[in-house]
Amino acid sequence: MKVLVTGGAGYIGSVVCERLREEGHDATVLDDLSQGHREAVPVGTELLETDLRDRRALRASLSGRSFDVVMHFAASSLVGESMKDPGRYFENNVSAGINLLEESRRIGADRFVFSSTAATYGEPERSPITEDFPTIPTNPYGESKLMFERILDWYVRVRDLRYVALRYFNAAGASGTCGEDHDPETHLIPLVLKAAADGGKVHVFGDDYPTPDGTCVRDYIHVLDLADAHLKAMEAMDRGVGGAFNLGNGAGFSVTEVISAAEDVTGRRIRKARAPRRPGDPPTLVASSARAEEALGWKPCREDLPTILESAWRWHREHPRGYGG
Ligand code: UDP
């Protein structure tokens, strides 16, 4: 299939491009490289360097092209940043998405796979989280993703669009060639591995949450497992499958547990420092992915934390300064 991958120079998008190519699909990346890396785009994959907020530029980039499916990864995706700069989140994740929807329609692309998030649920009272839980986001990031899901729902009703929204829990790990490289890096696992490598400290954001050890619990899912879900979602839309699906392993690990597992994997001691809670962080987010398993035929197969950490550690050692290094 011909697939347009927005944000295909980013962390998850680049791994999905790699997998699409391996499976014989034809991927084209659209990315403004504001956060992505040219080096992350697989060799031989065309890169359209375009800002989705610029409707005219987007139309020009897509003109004369056709795609069967759009996979929409391009977004701002940091909880903490969204609490400081909500406008950026609504502009990049909602307005720019509407541009993409409208321009995709002009060129006849009527199937969407959308990168959504566990942050759409807010602070659920029970665990694991299923898709029928209330969606009450506690930060503008989650709200912006939920808004776009609802917009997609309306396009299904009014415009014959088909879509699957994949609500990622915590993407982690690396493929053989693509890994996590954000600037600035704010995610726990790359920061923990950096601390293992350079002897710096990891700040533990809050140790008084209502969790077994007081630190936040998250469901870490291997980026290659996430990538497989996108390929399955693309096929499933042909069978009439649509809507939102959680993607996680169903197992939660606290910040402290991640640090100690990383000490085992790297064989190094990792220094920790207590730090205040990060605004907008829910205590626990753990997925039930039963719906994805049933409707998409997807099941994670790299689910244990050491396997995820080992792949990330390997990538970190091969790219100590990220894609630039
Ligand atoms: N976290 C932390 N120290 C850091 C970065 C993250 O304690 O330097 C915590 C964060 O508060 C959250 C968890 O680790 O509870 C995962 O954070 P991350 O930013 O990786 O992903 P998020 O859950 O925000 O999508």
Question: Residue 224 has what pLDDT?
Answer: 98
Which of 89, 141, 155, 163 does the annotation list as catalytic?
141
- Is the Cβ atom of 188 under 6 angstroms away from ligand 1? yes
Question: Residue 324 has what pLDDT?
Answer: 79
pLDDT tens string 126-149: 999 999 999 999 999 999 999 999
- The protein residue with its alpha carbon nearest to ligand 1, atom 25, reads 170
Cα of 210 to ligand 1 centre, how many Å? 16
Q: Which residues contact 319 (CB under 8 A, 6 or more apart)?
A: 179, 181, 325
What is d(CA 234, CA 241) in angstroms, rounded to the nearest whole number? 9
- Is the Cβ atom of 272 under 6 angstroms away from ligand 1? no
- Is the Cβ atom of 299 under 6 angstroms away from ligand 1? no
CA distances from 224 to 15, 96, 172, 182, 210 (A): 7, 27, 9, 18, 31
Phi and psi at 117, nearest 5°, equal -155, 155
pLDDT tens string 151-210: 999 999 999 999 999 999 999 999 989 999 999 999 999 999 999 999 999 999 999 999
Which of ligand 1's atoms lies nearest the C-alpha of 78? 24
Mutate to test the pocket of ligand 1, among 255, 257, 285, 286 (most ligand atoms within 8 A of CB): 255
In DSSP notation, 20-51 reads HHHTT-EEEEEE--SSS-GGGSPTT-EEEE--
CA atoms within 13 A on the CB side of 63: 7
Question: Is the pLDDT score of 325 beyond 80?
Answer: no
Question: Residue 94 has what pLDDT?
Answer: 98
Q: Which residues contact 284 (CB under 8 A, 6 or more apart)?
A: 124, 127, 209, 211, 216, 217, 218, 252
Cα of 15 to ligand 1 centre, how many Å? 22
Question: Is the pLDDT score of 92 beyond 70?
Answer: yes
Mean pLDDT of the chain: 97
Q: Which domains does the chain show, CATH number per domain?
A: 2-172+220-247 (3.40.50.720), 188-218+250-294+302-324 (3.90.25.10)
pLDDT tens string 267-293: 999 999 999 999 888 999 999 999 999
What is d(CA 21, CA 127) in angstroms, rounded to the nearest whole number? 36
